Amino acid sequence: MSSYDRRRFLQLIGSSGMLMASMNPLSAFAMSGSPSARVIVVGGGFGGATCAKYLNMFDPSLSITLIEPSKRFKTCPFSNAVLSGFQNMESISHSYKAHENRGINVVHDKVTQIDNTNKTVVLSGGEKLSYDKLVLSPGIDFKWDLVEGMQASDAATIPHAWQGGTQTTLLRNQLVSMRDGGTIIVAPPGNPFRCPPGPYERVSLIAHYLKQHKPKSKILILDAKSKFSKQSLFMQGWDKLYPGMIEWVADEKGGRIDEIDVKNNIVHTELGSKHKADVINFIPPQKAGLIAHTAGLTNSDGWCPVNQRTFESKMQADIHIIGDASIAGKMPKSGFAANSQGKVCAAAIVSAIHGKTMPEPSYVNTCYSLVSPDYGISVAAVYRYSNDKGIYKVKGSGGVSPKNADKVFRQQEARYAKGWYDSITADSFG
Contact residue for other proteins among 251, 278, 318, 427 (CB under 8 A): 427
Nearer to other proteins, 189 or 342 (CB): 342
CA distance 336 to 275: 35
Q: Which residue in 257, 67, 81, 228 sits closest to 164, CA to CA?
A: 81
At its nearest, how many Å lie between other proteins and the CB of residue 366? 6
Q: What mask of x and - would describe binding to other proteins in positions 389 to 418, judged by CB under 8 A?
A: -----x-xxxx-x-------x--xx-xx-x
430 binds other proteins (CB under 8 A): yes
Nearer to other proteins, 313 or 334 (CB): 334
Nearer to other proteins, 249 or 322 (CB): 322
**Total binding residues for other proteins by CB under 8 A?**
63
At its nearest, how many Å lie between other proteins and the CB of residue 109? 27
Contact residue for other proteins among 200, 378, 385, 391 (CB under 8 A): 378
Contact residue for other proteins among 359, 386, 389, 407 (CB under 8 A): 359
Largest CA distance in the chain: 92
Under a CB-based contact definition with an 8 Å cutoff, are residues 282 and 187 in contact? yes
Contact residue for other proteins among 89, 120, 382, 392 (CB under 8 A): 382
76 binds other proteins (CB under 8 A): no
23 binds other proteins (CB under 8 A): yes
Contact residue for other proteins among 113, 362, 373, 390 (CB under 8 A): 362
At its nearest, how many Å lie between other proteins and the CB of residue 6? 9
Nearer to other proteins, 20 or 290 (CB): 20
Per CB under 8 A, contacts with other proteins among 193-232 are: none
18 binds other proteins (CB under 8 A): no
Contact residue for other proteins among 18, 25, 31, 274 (CB under 8 A): 31
Nearer to other proteins, 297 or 353 (CB): 353
Q: Which residue in 133, 92, 258 sits closest to 187, CA to CA?
A: 258
Nearer to other proteins, 244 or 396 (CB): 396
At its nearest, how many Å lie between other proteins and the CB of residue 404? 14
Under a CB-based contact definition with an 8 Å cutoff, are residues 394 and 383 in contact? yes
Nearer to other proteins, 17 or 181 (CB): 17
Nearer to other proteins, 11 or 173 (CB): 11
* Amino acid in the structure at residue 170: L
At its nearest, how many Å lie between other proteins and the CB of residue 260? 36
At its nearest, how many Å lie between other proteins and the CB of residue 247? 30
Residues forming the site for other proteins (CB under 8 A)? 5, 8-9, 12-13, 16, 19-20, 23-24, 27, 30-31, 36, 54, 58-59, 61, 336, 339-340, 343-344, 347, 350-351, 353-356, 358-364, 366, 378, 380-382, 394, 396-399, 401, 409, 412-413, 415-416, 418-424, 426-427, 430
